[in-house]
Amino acid sequence: MSLIIPKKYKQKLLPETTEIAIKKIKETFQEKLARRLNLRRVTAPLFVLSGTGINDDLNGVENAVSFPIACMGNRKAEVVHSLAKWKRIKLGAYDIPAGYGLYTDMNAIRACEDLDNLHSLYVDQWDWERSIKAEDRNIDYLKQTVKCIYCAMRETERSIYEDFPHITPRLPEEIKFLHSQELLDMYPDLTAKERETEATRKYGAIFIIGIGAPLSNGEPHDGRAPDYDDWITPNSDGYQGLNGDILVWDDILETAVELSSMGIRVSPKSLIQQLEVRGCTERKELAFHRALLNGELPLSIGGGIGQSRLCMFLLQKAHIGEVQASIWPEEQIQLCRQHGIQLV
């Protein structure tokens, strides 16, 4: 994605008022999310030890920002990519029963990110995780959880409208569920990102199910690491996968915006299967993976929801840099300024 300059863009809130609105969104959404999913807030790490298997691999190719710890013999620590595995460990440590869970503020640095309207070096998410029963590992449970999150988003959008009535709500009443194979069948001549764009333009808000397993064209819709989301287990819809992404249509940028990545987490069985598919069975010896395979961790569902992206979308901004402080190329700063996009 290259930088998008919307035609005739006009910011709907001045920077000072934007700060007030950001605070409102963050307080409102996390309260509504916690209430709908029975979550309690916990404190999370910014970095973890390397070599434990706790950090997430995202698409499997990203390199974590790392540094040596002098007082621990220069043992290496790395900034988290997200907290999917760490949260699952905490569910077990706190003995949180099925139907309840936790959430936290996750902050990360992704140094290899391409910087544009939606991507920043700095990542801020609400990371959440919920314990489930074995019988909850199904597509209906996943969809019901997505609906709860989407309702929290719509309720937050409505709250912003009440305070700033010139920011008209854009989210449709319902979110549309589509499997990644269905998208490929609908748009066989388009790339995965183009398929997302067309489907999101059509429905306004979609949840794409099954991200990680190869589709009928031999390629996955998008990359997914093999050791947190379950993308290999068949579901009752006749496809593979118990995970997915929430995307919404942004009519300012005229593109799809991913707000959340989530899924039912791997069981011992699906972990082995996915490690074999990706050719990395050596990970079974890492501390996290051993604990999971030994039945020491609870079954769970979880995900991350972009804080800055949600703020950007709900406040109808054109660039994520309007709602978060980060570093941008000077030419991007100047180009945005010329078109009325004021980066923090």
Q: How many domains does the chain have?
A: 1
| Catalytic residue, candidates 11, 258, 273, 283 | 258
**Catalytic residue chosen out of the listed positions 30, 56, 124, 316:** 56
Active site residue 56: yes
Q: What is the DSSP string of 9-30?
A: ---SS-HHHHHHHHHHHHHHHH
Q: Does the residue 238 lie in any domain?
A: yes
Query: The domain that contains 293 carries what CATH number?
Result: 3.30.930.10
From 30, 57, 82, 110, the catalytic residue: 110
- Asked if residues 233 and 281 have their Cβ atoms less than 8 Å apart, the reply is no
Is residue 343 situated within a structural domain? Answer: no
| Residue 228 C-alpha from the chain's centroid | 13
What is residue 314's predicted lDDT score, i.e. its pLDDT?
A: 98
Q: Is 332 a catalytic residue?
A: no
Span 201-232, pLDDT tens digits: 999 999 999 999 999 999 999 999 999 999 99
Which position among 180, 181, 240, 261 bears the catalytic label? 261
Instruction: Look at residue 64 in the predicted model and tell me its pLDDT.
Output: 86
Q: With pLDDT > 90 as the criterion, what percentage of the chain qualifies?
A: 90
What's the pLDDT score for residue 58? Answer: 56
The answer to whether residue 303 sits within a structural domain is yes
Domain that includes residue 239, residue range: 15-338
Q: What is the pLDDT of residues 230-278, one digit of tens each?
A: 999 999 989 999 999 999 999 999 999 999 999 999 999 999 999 999 9
Task: Decide: 107 and 122 in contact? Cβ < 8 Å.
Answer: yes
Q: Residue 3: inside a domain, yes or no?
A: no
pLDDT value for 344: 87
The reported pTM is 0.95
Domain-located, residue 100: yes
Whether 245 is a known active-site residue: answer yes
Neighbours of 326 (CB within 10 A): 16
Query: CA dist 14 to 10, 116, 319, 336, 342, Å?
Result: 10, 21, 14, 15, 9
Residues in the chain, total: 344
Task: Answer whether residue 344 is part of any domain.
Answer: no
* Per-residue tokens: 126: 């609400």
Residues whose CB falls within 8 Å of the CB of residue 167, separated by 6 or more in sequence, listed in order: 12, 13, 160, 161, 314, 315, 316
Integer Cα distance of 306 and 312 in angstroms: 10
Q: What is the mean pLDDT of residues 167-177?
A: 98
Residue 232 lies in a domain: yes
For residues 77 and 244, the answer to whether their CB atoms sit within 8 Å is no
Question: In percent, how much of the chain has pLDDT > 70?
Answer: 98
Contact between 299 and 137 under an 8 Å Cβ cutoff? The reply is: yes
Q: Compute the distance between CA of residue 9 and CA of residue 254 in angstroms, rounded to an integer.
A: 12
How large is the average pLDDT for residues 81-92? Answer: 92
Tell me the average pLDDT across 131-156: 98
Question: How is residue 34 written in tokens?
Answer: 């916690």
pLDDT in tens, 51-81: 888 887 655 556 789 999 999 999 999 998 8
Q: How far from chain centre, in Å, is Cα 195?
A: 19
Asked if residue 185 belongs to a domain, the reply is yes
Tokens of 5: 């300059």
Residue-wise pLDDT for 182-195, tens only, equals 999 999 999 999 99
The residue from 30, 82, 125, 240 that is catalytic is: 125
Would you call 127 a catalytic residue per the annotation? Answer: no
pLDDT higher than threshold 60 for residue 341: yes
Determine whether 125 is an active site residue: yes
